[in-house]
């Protein structure tokens, strides 16, 4: 599912909102989420999961395709941890 699928689904659920209004709402929501994460804030969506930043130290990384080791700078990466409800739903689906 991508952003256009989300917009389409919400538009179908709420026919009183125009597709353009839903598009603005979804884009603004994702923009605010990205901005908060970029500023180091943690986002928690109950039943779904948490987004936060993790620091990765500088060091050597290996390209598995070519087997070449290169130096990597320190960086921050987005970390997602699934919530309990999402983990349980995925576990049932996987069986």
Give pLDDT tens digits for 26-66. Answer: 999 999 999 999 999 999 999 999 999 999 999 998 888 88
- Mean pLDDT for the stretch of residues 64-79: 91
Which of 49, 50, 52, 54 lies closest to 36, judged by CA? 52
* Contact call for residues 69 and 62 (beta carbons, < 8 A): yes
- Pair of tokens at residue 84: 């309990």
**pLDDT for res 64:** 87
User: 48-77: b or e for each residue (b if 16 or more CB lie within 10 Å)?
Assistant: ebebbeeeeeeeeeeeeeeeeeeeeeeeee
DSSP state of 85: H
Q: Residue 64 contacts by C-beta under 8 Å, 6 or more apart in sequence?
A: none
The pLDDT mean for the chain works out to 93
Which of 26, 82, 85, 89 lies closest to 52, judged by CA? 82
Between these two residues, 67 and 37, which has the higher pLDDT value? 37
**pLDDT for res 83:** 95
């Amino acid at each position: 599912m991508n952003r256009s699928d989300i917009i389409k689904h919400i538009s179908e659920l709420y026919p009183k909102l125009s597709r353009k209004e839903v598009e603005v709402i979804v884009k603004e929501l994702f923009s605010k989420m990205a901005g908060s994460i970029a500023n180091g804030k943690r986002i928690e969506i109950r039943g779904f999961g948490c987004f936060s930043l993790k620091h990765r130290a500088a060091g050597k990384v290996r390209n598995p395709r070519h087997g070449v080791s290169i130096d990597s700078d320190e960086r921050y990466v987005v970390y997602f941890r699934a919530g309990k409800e999402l983990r349980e739903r995925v576990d049932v689906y996987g069986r």
